[in-house]
Structure 1
Amino acid sequence: MLRLTRVLGPAALLLFAIAALVAGLTFGGGAAPQLLQDPGAVVRWGLPVSKLFVNLGAAAMIGALILSCFALSPKQPEFNAALDVAAAGAAVFTVAAAFTGFFTYLSVTGATLSLDAQFGASLSQFLTQIELGQAWLITTLVGAAVTVLCFAVRNHTLLVFVTVLAVAALIPMAQQGHAAGTAGHNAAVTSLGLHIAAAAAWLGGLITVVLLRDKLDRRLTTVLARYSTVALIAFLVLTISGVATSILQLGSFENLLSDYGVILLAKVAALIVLGFFGVIQRTFFIERMQRAGAAASATAANGVRWFWGFVVAELAFMGIASGLAVALARTPKPVTPGAELTTTRTPAELLSGEMLPPELTFSRYFTEWNIDLIWLLACAFGIFFYLAGVWRLTKRGDSWPIYRTVLWIAGMIALFYVSSGGVAVYGKFLFSTHMLAHMALTMAIPVLLVPGAPVTLAMRAIRPRKDGSRGPREWILLAVHSRFASIIANPIVAAVLFAGSLWVFYFSPLFSWATTDHIGHQWMTVHFLITGYLFVQSLIGIDPVPYRLPYPFRLLLLLGTMAFHAFFGLAIMTGTGLLLADWYGATGRSWGLDALADQQMGGGIAWSVGEIPTLALAITVAIQWSRSDAKETKRSDRNADRTHEAELNAYNENLARIAERDNAGR
C-alpha cells in the first residue's frame, strides 16, 4: 500500500475534485445552457474543468516551491525532486491557463471555433486589448516563466524570487471571478487572492510530501512537522479569507438557502473536515512518529501505514473542496431583494468601488472602518509571533525588556488602524487624510516598531537549523547580512530614500497608480512603511546593522532630513495646481473643503505633524548618546581598576618625560 500512496493520493484528489465539480455545476446551474449566445456544452463544461486544473497546477507549483525554500535542504535528493514537482505543476498551470483563456473567449463572445483569419484576429484582440483576456494571457505567460525557472534555478536564495513570481501569477485570477463587479471590490480581491494562495500552499505542500515520500525516508518526520506549521498558517488564512469572501458574496443570511449558499455550505463542511484532519495529523501522527524516532521511517511501522491512509483521505477531501470552489465561481450569485432596483452608481463608486463615506468628523476617524484583510493578518501574526518569541525566551530563563513588547504591540495596532480605520476610509477621498496616513506610516509607526528589535528577538528565540535547510532564522540572517541590505540600511541611503521618495511618489505616475489601483495602494503602504523603518532604524535602532553614524551626526542627519521633509510640505501647501485632479476633484464629495484647499491642508500636515515624531527621535538619540557616554565611562573606570590606573600612569610618565626634555634643553 505504501508504494501505491504516490498514485492513490493524487488520484483521489483528482477524482473527488472532478466529482465535486460536476455535482456543484449540476446543482447550481453553472454549466446550464445560456439563453443568449450559448457557446455549447464543450465550452460550458470545459471552462470550469480547465479552471480546476489551473488551481491544482498552482497548488503543486506553489506548495513545492514553499517546501523547497523553508523545509528541504539542497544537500538532500528530495530538494531537486521537489523542484521537479514545482516545474510539473507550473506546466499544468500554464497549459490550463491557456485553455481557460481560450474557453473564456468563446464563452464571452459566443464565437464558433474556426481556422479563418477573422477568428484569429478576434481572439488576438480579446487577449491583448480586453482586460479579461489580458488577465489570462498574463497568467499564462507568468506560468510559462515559472516553469522554465523551476528547471533552470537551483540556487536556494534565488528560489525565493521564483516563489514570489509563482504567487504573483495568482493576482490576475484574484482580480476577476467572484470579485468582478462586487461592491467592496478591493476587499473582494484581497479576500479571494489570500484564499487562493493559502489553498495552494496547503494543498500543494501535501501533494509534494506524498510524491517525495520515498526520498524523504528518515527525514520524513522533520519535513512533516515543518509542513504542518505551513498548513496551520494556511488554514487560518483560508478560513478568515473564506469568511470575508462569503459575507461579500452572500449579502444576507437568507441567501444561504440559495443554490450558491448550499454549495458554499458544502465547501465549508469540507474545510471543517480538513481542519479536523490537520488537528489529528499535528497532535497525533506527527508526535507519535517523532516519539518513535528511527522506527517511524517511510518503509516501516504500522502507525506510518495508518498515516499514509489518512493522507489519502485528506487529499480526497481537498479535492472535494477544490471542485466545489470552482463550481461556486461559476454559480450565479444570489441577489439580495431590492438590490436589483439600484441602477445608478455615484462618482465615488465608479472611481473606487466604494460608497462615499459620510461627512468627516473627528469621531468618524474611529467609527468608520474598512478592514484590509492583508494588514489585519499581517498585524495579528506579527503580534502572535513576537509574543511567542518572548514566551520562548522567558520559558528558558532569558529576559526581554517589557517596553520593547509594549512598543511593538502598539506599533502593530497603529498599523492596523492606519490600514483599516477611518484614516484609510477617508484617505481615498481626502488628500489631507491620505497625507495623515502617509505621515503615520513613515514616521509614527516606525518609531514604535523599531525599538521592539524584532530581528534581535528572532535571533535569540528561533532555533537554528542544522540540516542545511533554511528556516525563518536563516532567512532573516541572510537578508540582514545581504549586500542589498547593507546598501539600503546605510544611514545616508536610508535618509535619501525616506525624503527623496516623497518627491518621486507625489510628482510622478506612481501617485496615480497607488490611488487608483488596489495593488498600487498595497505597494504604497509597504514602501512608506519600509522607508520609514529604515530611516528610524539608522537613528535609534537596536537590531544589528552594518554601519551606524556617531551620535552627533545622527542628530545632524535627522535635522537635515526633516528640513527637506518640511520643504516638501510647504511646496504642497503653497501649490495652486490640484494633484490627481481626475480623482480628488471628481469624487462627487459635497462636504468639507474643496479639493485644492484640502490638498493644501495636506501639505500643512506633512509640514507640521512630522514635528512630534522628530522630537521623539531627537530625544531618543540624545538619551542613547548619554547612555553610551555613561557606559564608556564605566568601562574606562573598570579598566582602570583592573590595571591599577595603568593608562593614567603611562600618560603621566609621558608628560614627565616631556617636561624633563624641556628642562634639559634650557
Structure 2
Amino acid sequence: MPRHLRILAPAALLTATLIALIAGLSIGGAGAERALLDPGTVVRYGNPIARTLVNVSMAGLIGSLVMAVWALASEKRETRIAMDFAAGSAAALTISSGAVLMLTYVDISGLSFSGDAAFGAGLAQFVTEVELGSLWLIELLLAAVTTVLCFAIRERRLTLVVLVAALATALPLAQQGHAAGASGHAQAVNSLLVHLVGASVWLGGLLVLVFIAFAVERTRLAEIVARYSTLALFAFVGVAASGVVSAWLRLGQPSELFTTGYGQLVMLKTGSLLVLGVLGAVQRRRLIPRIATTNGSRAFAWFVTIELAVMGVASGVAGALGRTETPVSLEPARDQGSTISPAEWLTGDPLPPELTAMSYVTEWKFDLAWTLVCVFGAALYLAGVWRLRRRGDAWPVGRTIAWLLGMALLFYTTNGAFNAYEQYLFSVHMLGHMMFTMLIPLALVLGAPVTLALRGTEKRRDGSWGGREWIMWGVQTPFSKLVTHPAFAAVNFAGSLWLFYFTGIVRWAAVEHLGHQWMIIHFLISGYLFSLSMIGIDPVPYRFPYPLRIVTLFATMASHAFFGVTIMTGDNLILADWYGAMGRTWGAPPLEDQNTGGGIAWGIGELPTLALALIVAMQWSRTDAKEQKRRDRAEDRSGDAELHAYNEMLATQAKRDARLR
C-alpha cells in the first residue's frame, strides 16, 4: 500500500470539498454580497465552510464507529485505529460546531464579534430562546460528550453506547433542514436524517479504511473492504432516496432544476452521486477480489483517492445547498403573513380532504425513513430465507408470509391514510396506535426474525462481531432478560397506554416530530415484547407456563378494555387545544371523535389480543400432543414398564392390607 495514501486521500477529499463549496456558493448566489445587513466575506464563506466541516467530521465519527462495531476485530490494531479516528473526528465536530454557532449568531444578529457584555448577552439569548441557536448548542454539547466517550471507552460492547451518542449528533442537524411548522416538516426531517446517517457511514467508513490499510495484511484488507462495501450499498440507497425526497420538497417544479441556482446544485450533486454509485459497483465486483495482490492493493489506493475526491465534490455541493435559497419557502405559512386554516397553523400542513372509506386507499403521506425500514426489513428477511434454501435448509412459508405482512402493515400505517389523518382525528390516531402496538407486532413475532438471523448468518472467526454475535450477546444480557420477562412485558404493554394518554407525553408526541417518532418506536417495541413473551418462537430466557399465559392475556385484555371505556365515556377532550382546534368542517365533533377512538381501543383493539389467546391455546394443545407422543414412544420402547411397575406396587399394597386384616 503506498505510504502517501494517508496524506493524499484525505487531501483529495478536503481539496475537492473546498473547491466544490466555493463554486457552489457562487452558483447558488449565497456567496454574493447582500444588499442589507451583509455580515462580510469572512462570515459569508466561513459559515458554510465550518458547516461543511461539521458534516465531514460527523461522517468520520459515525463511519469509523460503525466499522469498529460491525467490521473490525476488537483485539486488533485495526479497531484501535478506528477508535482513535473517531475520537479525532468527534473533537473536530465539537470545534466546528462551536464555530458554526458563533458565525450563525454573527450572521443573524448583524453584530460584529466582540467580547463585550452586549454581545455575550445576545449570544446567550440566541442559544436559549431561538430554535436555531438551541439546536447548535445541543449539537455542540452532544459532540463534546461523544468526544469524551470516544477517548474513554474502547471495550467492544460499550462501543455501542458511543455509537448511539454519535448517531444522536445527527438529530439537531436534521431538525435544522426544515423549519418546524413548515409544510412537509416531518418528511423533510426524516429524509435529512437518513441522508446524514447514510452519507456518514459511506464517507466515514471509506476514510477510516485509508488508515486501517497500513495496519493489516492485504488478505485481511480485502475482507474488511468487502464488509464496508455492503454497508456502503445500503448507505447509497438511503442517500439517493433521501436526496430525491429533499429535492422534491424544496423544488416547486421540474423546470426549476435548470432555472434556479438551487436546482443546478441539485443536478451537480445528483451527478456526483451517480458517479459514486458506479465507482461502488466497480469496487464491489472487480476491485475487492484483487486487493490481496500487489497490483490490486495499489489500484485500491488510487481508487479510494478518486472516490474520496468525488465524495468531496458531493460534500461541497451539499454545503452550498444548505446556504442557497430554495424555490419553495421553508418558512412556516403562519410566518409568511398569508391567511391559513387553524389546522395549517398548528401542523404546518393543509387540512386533508374529508375522510371517507375511499380515503383509506387514496390518501397517502409518505415517510422515507419508515419506508426504508420496511424495504430493508423485507429484503434482509428474504435474503436470509434464500441463504437457508441455498444450503438445503427449510424455512416455513408461513413465517415468511407473517413477516412480509407485518412489514406491509407497518409501511401502510406510517405512509398511508393513518399517517395523513392522525394529526387531525383522534379516532384515526387511535386506529394507527392499535396497529403499532398490537397487530403489526403480532405478525412480526410470528415471522421469528431472530431465529432466522441466527440460522442464516455465519459465525465470525476473525474476532469481529457480525449479526449472529451481536444477537447472541443481546438476548443474553441482563437488560434483555428483564424486558423479555413476561411480567415486565405485560406491565409495559398495558401500562404504557395509561401513561401515554394521561400524562404530558401525548402532547409531546402530537406536537413534536421527535415525540411522534418515539411513540411509534416505543409502542412497536412494547407490543413486540408482549407478543414474543406469549407466542414467540425466537429464544428468550423465560416464558410463563401456558395456563399463566392465558391468565396474563385476559388480565391485559381487561386493562385494555377499561382503558378504552375510559376514553369512550370521558367528558374531557384530550389535547383540546390540538384536536379541538383544527377547524374541521367535516367529520364528527372532536369529543365524539375521541369517544369513537375509545371504542376502537376497546373493540377493535381487543381482536389481536383475542388472536394471541387463540394462538396460545393452539400452542398449548400442540405441546400436550407432543408430550403425549413422547410418552407413548417411551412406553413402546420400555414395554410399558412404568405401568407394570405401578400395577405391581398396587398389588403388593393389596396383599399387605389383606395380611393386616
TM-score by length of 2: 0.97
Deviations 1:431-485 (A, max 9, x none): 1111111111111112211111000111100111112211111111111111111
Task: Give the aligned partner of residue 286 of structure 1.
Answer: 288
Cα distance change, pair 449–549 in 1 and its aligned pair in 2 (3 A): same
Is 1:146 the counterpart of 2:146 in the alignment? yes
Is 1:59 the counterpart of 2:49 in the alignment? no
Aligned to 1:549, the other structure's residue is in SS state coil
Is 1:467 the counterpart of 2:469 in the alignment? no
Is 1:393 the counterpart of 2:388 in the alignment? yes
Letter in 2 for 1:247: W
Between the aligned partners of 1:270 and 1:598, the Cα distance in structure 2 is 50
TM-aligned CA deviation for residue 664 of structure 1: 2.7
| Contact 1:453/1:542 (8 A) holds in 2 | yes
Is 1:306 the counterpart of 2:308 in the alignment? no
Cα distance change, pair 527–96 in 1 and its aligned pair in 2 (3 A): same
Between the aligned partners of 1:180 and 1:498, the Cα distance in structure 2 is 31
Task: Give the aligned partner of residue 621 of structure 2.
Answer: 626
Between the aligned partners of 1:515 and 1:104, the Cα distance in structure 2 is 30
TM-aligned CA deviation for residue 229 of structure 1: 0.8
| Contact 1:182/1:188 (8 A) holds in 2 | no
What are the equivalent positions in structure 2 for 1:316-331 lying under 5 Å apart?
316-331=309-324
Is 1:514 the counterpart of 2:516 in the alignment? no
Deviations 1:105-156 (A, max 9, x none): 0111111112211111111111122111111011011001101100000121
| Contact 2:61/2:86 (8 A) holds in 1 | yes
Aligned to 1:585, the other structure's residue is in SS state helix
Letter in 1 for 2:5: T
* Structure 1 alignment gaps of length 5 or more: 290-294
| Contact 2:181/2:346 (8 A) holds in 1 | no
Deviations 1:327-356 (A, max 9, x none): 0111111259xx999823322122112111
Cα distance change, pair 48–638 in 1 and its aligned pair in 2 (3 A): same
Letter in 1 for 2:271: A
TM-aligned CA deviation for residue 647 of structure 1: 2.0
TM-aligned CA deviation for residue 650 of structure 1: 2.3
Task: Give the aligned partner of residue 596 of structure 1.
Answer: 591
What are the equivalent positions in structure 2 for 1:219-368 lying under 5 Å apart?
219-257=220-258, 258-289=260-291, 295-296=292-293, 301-335=294-328, 343-368=338-363
TM-aligned CA deviation for residue 180 of structure 1: 6.1
Between the aligned partners of 2:537 and 2:64, the Cα distance in structure 1 is 36
Task: Give the aligned partner of residue 188 of structure 2.
Answer: 188
Deviates more, 1:538-547 or 1:312-321: 538-547
1:406 to 397, 401, 406: 401
Aligned to 1:330, the other structure's residue is in SS state coil
Cα distance change, pair 157–651 in 1 and its aligned pair in 2 (3 A): same
Between the aligned partners of 1:374 and 1:661, the Cα distance in structure 2 is 79
Deviations 1:377-396 (A, max 9, x none): 00111110111111111111
Percent of aligned positions that are identical: 53
Letter in 1 for 2:252: G
1:540 to 510, 513, 535: 535
TM-aligned CA deviation for residue 610 of structure 1: 2.0
Between the aligned partners of 2:471 and 2:34, the Cα distance in structure 1 is 53
TM-aligned CA deviation for residue 628 of structure 1: 0.6
Aligned to 1:126, the other structure's residue is in SS state helix
What are the equivalent positions in structure 2 for 1:544-555 lying under 5 Å apart?
544-555=539-550
TM-aligned CA deviation for residue 540 of structure 1: 1.1
Between the aligned partners of 1:144 and 1:197, the Cα distance in structure 2 is 19
Aligned to 2:537, the other structure's residue is in SS state coil
Cα distance change, pair 183–485 in 1 and its aligned pair in 2 (3 A): same
Letter in 1 for 2:357: F
Aligned to 1:354, the other structure's residue is in SS state coil
| Contact 1:179/1:192 (8 A) holds in 2 | no
Aligned to 2:4, the other structure's residue is in SS state helix
TM-aligned CA deviation for residue 305 of structure 1: 0.5
| Contact 2:181/2:345 (8 A) holds in 1 | no
| Contact 2:450/2:471 (8 A) holds in 1 | yes
Between the aligned partners of 1:21 and 1:345, the Cα distance in structure 2 is 37
| Contact 2:560/2:606 (8 A) holds in 1 | no
Is 1:101 the counterpart of 2:97 in the alignment? no
Is 1:609 the counterpart of 2:604 in the alignment? yes
Task: Give the aligned partner of residue 453 of structure 1.
Answer: 448
Between the aligned partners of 2:114 and 2:443, the Cα distance in structure 1 is 63
Is 1:439 the counterpart of 2:439 in the alignment? no
Between the aligned partners of 1:209 and 1:547, the Cα distance in structure 2 is 42
Task: Give the aligned partner of residue 292 of structure 1.
Answer: none
Task: Give the aligned partner of residue 415 of structure 1.
Answer: 410
What are the equivalent positions in structure 2 for 1:84-95 lying under 5 Å apart?
84-95=84-95
Aligned to 2:583, the other structure's residue is in SS state coil
Between the aligned partners of 2:328 and 2:337, the Cα distance in structure 1 is 12
| Contact 1:39/1:106 (8 A) holds in 2 | yes
Letter in 2 for 1:227: Y
Between the aligned partners of 2:101 and 2:547, the Cα distance in structure 1 is 61
Between the aligned partners of 1:129 and 1:373, the Cα distance in structure 2 is 31
Between the aligned partners of 1:178 and 1:8, the Cα distance in structure 2 is 36
TM-aligned CA deviation for residue 93 of structure 1: 0.6
| Contact 1:178/1:329 (8 A) holds in 2 | no
Deviates more, 1:126-135 or 1:144-153: 126-135
Between the aligned partners of 1:60 and 1:361, the Cα distance in structure 2 is 49
Task: Give the aligned partner of residue 478 of structure 2.
Answer: 483
| Contact 1:186/1:353 (8 A) holds in 2 | no
Letter in 2 for 1:281: Q
Between the aligned partners of 2:530 and 2:296, the Cα distance in structure 1 is 54
| Contact 2:178/2:185 (8 A) holds in 1 | no
Task: Give the aligned partner of residue 20 of structure 2.
Answer: 20
Between the aligned partners of 2:660 and 2:181, the Cα distance in structure 1 is 97
| Contact 2:249/2:328 (8 A) holds in 1 | no
2:558 to 552, 563, 568: 563
| Contact 2:507/2:575 (8 A) holds in 1 | yes
Cα distance change, pair 335–398 in 1 and its aligned pair in 2 (3 A): closer
Cα distance change, pair 341–190 in 1 and its aligned pair in 2 (3 A): closer
Between the aligned partners of 1:564 and 1:407, the Cα distance in structure 2 is 27
Aligned to 1:3, the other structure's residue is in SS state coil
Aligned to 1:640, the other structure's residue is in SS state helix
Between the aligned partners of 1:414 and 1:98, the Cα distance in structure 2 is 43
Is 1:573 the counterpart of 2:575 in the alignment? no
TM-aligned CA deviation for residue 659 of structure 1: 2.2
Runs of 4+ aligned residues of structure 1 deviating over 3 Å after TM superposition are 177-182, 339-342
Between the aligned partners of 1:277 and 1:342, the Cα distance in structure 2 is 48
Letter in 2 for 1:549: F
Between the aligned partners of 1:334 and 1:494, the Cα distance in structure 2 is 49
Between the aligned partners of 1:147 and 1:231, the Cα distance in structure 2 is 25
Between the aligned partners of 2:487 and 2:658, the Cα distance in structure 1 is 51
| Contact 2:9/2:304 (8 A) holds in 1 | yes
TM-score by length of 1: 0.96
Letter in 2 for 1:250: L
| Contact 2:177/2:188 (8 A) holds in 1 | no
Letter in 2 for 1:278: G
Aligned to 2:338, the other structure's residue is in SS state coil
What are the equivalent positions in structure 2 for 1:200-219 lying under 5 Å apart?
200-217=200-217, 218-219=219-220
